[in-house]
C-alpha cells in the first residue's frame, strides 16, 4: 500500500485487511511523507499489535514512485497493490491465496463501487465477467480489451514481485499508472488469472487526482494506452480513443463536472485544434457551468443505473443545484 494524506480513511481500510492476514501474508505500507495524522493512525495500530511494516519516506515520490518502493520493500512472491481508502471484502485474501497457487504472473481482482460514504452501491461489479478464468500466451489483445479499462484502478492488480522488479519501471514514474506499464510493456505478461467475484469495495469520489481529471483522462491515460505496441490498435481503441478530447460530448461532460473550461482550453487544446473543432471546443469551454451540468445530468438520467458513477460526479459539482432538483424530480417520477 502506498499512502499520502489519508489519515481520515486509512484506519478503516487497514481494519478490513488486518483480520485476514495469515503467517504467509505481510502488510507493507509506504507513506509518502504525509503531512496529516497518517503516521499517528498507523503508529497506534502498530502499538495495538497490528503486523504492519510501515515505511515513512522523507519525501513524496508520487503515486508511481511510492508503489514502486512498496513492491521493493515487500518480501512476498506476489504483491497486491492495495489502495489506501478502499475496503477488502471478507475472505478476499484467502481467495487471492487460492488464485496465486495456480502460478500466474498476474491476478486481476474484480471490484464493487460505492459512493464516498460506502453506503450506496454504484456498480456491483466493474468487470463484466461471471466466472473466474485465465489468459495465456497469444491472448494479449483479448486480455487488454477485457481488463485494461478496469485496470486504471490499481487495486485490481496482484502481480509476481520478481516480474515487477525485472521490468522497466522508471519510464512510467509520473504516468500515474505504473502498474499498467509494468503489465503491458513489451513483452506483456502472459499467465493471467481473472477473479470474477468483487473482492474490493471502491470508495468512489474520493480520488486525490480529481482536480487533474481532464489532463489525466484526456492525455496521460490515452498516451499510456496507445504506447503499448504489443497490443493491437483495435484492442487499444476499445479501451480509449487516441484523442478523446476531439469528441464534443466528452468535452461537454468535463465542462459539466467543472474539469474543463477556458483555462483548460488554452492550456491543452488551443494549439492542437483548428477550424470548426477549435471553435466548438472554445464554445463548450465557455458554457456556464450550471447549464452544462444540467444538460449532462438530464441526458444521463435517461441512461439508467449504468450512469450512476457519472451522475455522482455531476451532482457533486457545487453549482449543481438545478441538476440535483432535476434528479430528485425524476427519481420521484420513477
| Residue-by-residue pLDDT tens, the chain, 334 positions | 999 999 999 999 999 999 999 999 999 999 999 999 999 999 999 999 999 999 999 999 999 999 999 999 999 999 999 999 999 999 999 999 999 999 999 999 999 999 999 999 999 999 999 999 999 999 999 999 999 999 999 999 999 999 999 999 999 999 999 999 999 999 999 899 999 999 999 999 887 777 799 999 999 999 999 999 999 999 999 999 999 999 999 999 999 999 999 999 999 999 999 999 999 999 999 999 999 999 999 999 888 877 888 888 999 898 888 888 888 877 654 4
Domains of the chain with bracketed CATH: 2-203 (3.90.550.10), 243-333 (no CATH)
Nearest alpha carbon to residue 179 among 147, 157, 146: 157
Count other C-beta atoms under 10 Å from residue 22's C-beta. Answer: 9
At which residue does the C-alpha cell 449532462 appear? 296
Burial 219-231 (b: 16+ CB within 10 A, else e): ebbbebbbbbeeb
What pTM value is reported for the model?
Answer: 0.93
- How much is the pLDDT for 331? 66
Asked if residues 178 and 270 have their Cβ atoms less than 8 Å apart, the reply is no
Distance, CA of 31 to CA of 4 (rounded, Å): 6
Q: Which three cell numbers stand for residue 45?
A: 495500530
- How much is the pLDDT for 190? 87
- How much is the pLDDT for 274? 97
Contacts of residue 173, Cβ cutoff 8 Å, sequence gap at least 6:
61, 62, 64, 65, 68
Distance, CA of 73 to CA of 55 (rounded, Å): 9
Q: Is 135 left (phi over 0), alpha (psi -120 to 50) or beta?
A: beta
**Three-state SS annotation for 95-163:** HHHHHHCCCCCEEEEEEEEECCCCCCEEECCCCCCCCCEEECCCCHHHHHHHHCCHHHCHHHEEEEHHH
At which residue does the C-alpha cell 477550424 appear? 275
Paired with 109 in beta bridges are 195
Asked if residues 201 and 89 have their Cβ atoms less than 8 Å apart, the reply is yes
- How much is the pLDDT for 95? 98
DSSP 87: E
Alpha helices in 185-268 (DSSP H): 213-215, 221-225, 233-239, 248-256, 262-264
DSSP 4: S
Asked if residues 113 and 202 have their Cβ atoms less than 8 Å apart, the reply is yes
DSSP 188: P
Q: Which three cell numbers stand for residue 294?
A: 444540467
Distance, CA of 257 to CA of 215 (rounded, Å): 14
Amino acid at each position: 500500500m502506498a499512502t499520502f494524506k489519508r489519515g481520515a480513511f486509512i484506519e478503516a481500510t487497514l481494519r478490513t485487511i488486518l483480520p485476514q492476514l495469515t503467517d504467509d501474508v505481510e502488510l507493507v505500507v509506504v507513506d509518502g511523507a504525509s503531512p496529516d495524522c497518517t503516521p499517528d493512525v498507523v503508529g497506534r495500530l502498530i502499538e495495538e499489535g497490528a503486523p504492519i511494516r510501515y515505511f515513512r519516506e522523507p519525501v513524496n515520490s508520487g503515486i508511481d514512485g511510492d508503489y514502486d518502493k512498496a513492491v521493493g520493500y515487500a518480501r512476498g512472491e506476489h504483491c497486491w497493490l492495495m489502495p489506501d481508502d478502499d475496503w477488502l471484502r471478507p475472505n478476499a485474501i484467502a481467495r487471492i491465496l487460492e488464485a496465486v497457487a495456480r502460478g500466474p504472473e498476474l491476478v486481476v481482482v474484480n471490484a464493487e463501487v460505492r459512493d464516498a460514504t460506502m453506503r450506496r452501491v454504484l456498480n456491483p461489479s466493474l468487470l463484466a465477467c461471471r466466472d473466474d478464468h485465465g489468459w495465456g500466451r497469444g491472448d494479449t489483445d483479448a486480455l487488454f480489451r477485457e481488463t485494461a479499462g478496469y485496470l486504471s484502478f490499481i487495486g485490481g492488480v496482484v502481480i509476481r514481485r520478481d516480474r515487477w522488479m525485472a521490468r522497466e519501471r522508471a519510464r512510467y514514474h509520473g504516468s500515474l499508472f505504473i502498474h499498467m506499464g509494468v503489465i503491458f510493456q513489451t513483452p506483456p505478461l502472459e499467465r493471467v488469472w481473472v477473479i470474477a467475484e468483487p473482492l474490493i469495495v471502491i470508495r468512489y469520489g474520493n480520488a486525490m487526482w480529481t482536480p487533474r481529471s481532464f489532463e489525466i483522462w484526456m492525455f496521460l491515460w490515452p498516451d499510456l494506452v496507445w504506447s503499448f505496441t504489443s497490443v493491437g490498435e483495435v484492442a487499444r481503441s476499445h479501451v480509449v480513443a487516441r484523442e478523446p478530447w476531439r469528441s464534443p460530448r466528452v468535452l461537454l461532460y468535463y465542462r459539466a463536472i467543472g474539469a474543463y473550461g477556458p483555462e483548460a482550453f488554452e492550456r491543452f487544446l488551443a494549439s492542437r485544434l483548428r477550424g470548426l473543432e477549435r471553435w466548438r471546443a472554445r464554445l463548450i469551454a465557455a458554457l456556464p457551468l450550471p447549464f452544462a451540468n444540467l444538460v449532462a445530468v438530464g441526458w444521463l438520467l435517461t441512461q439508467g443505473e449504468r450512469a450512476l458513477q457519472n451522475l455522482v460526479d455531476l451532482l457533486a459539482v457545487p453549482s449543481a443545484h438545478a441538476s440535483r432538483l432535476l434528479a430528485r424530480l425524476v427519481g420521484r417520477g420513477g
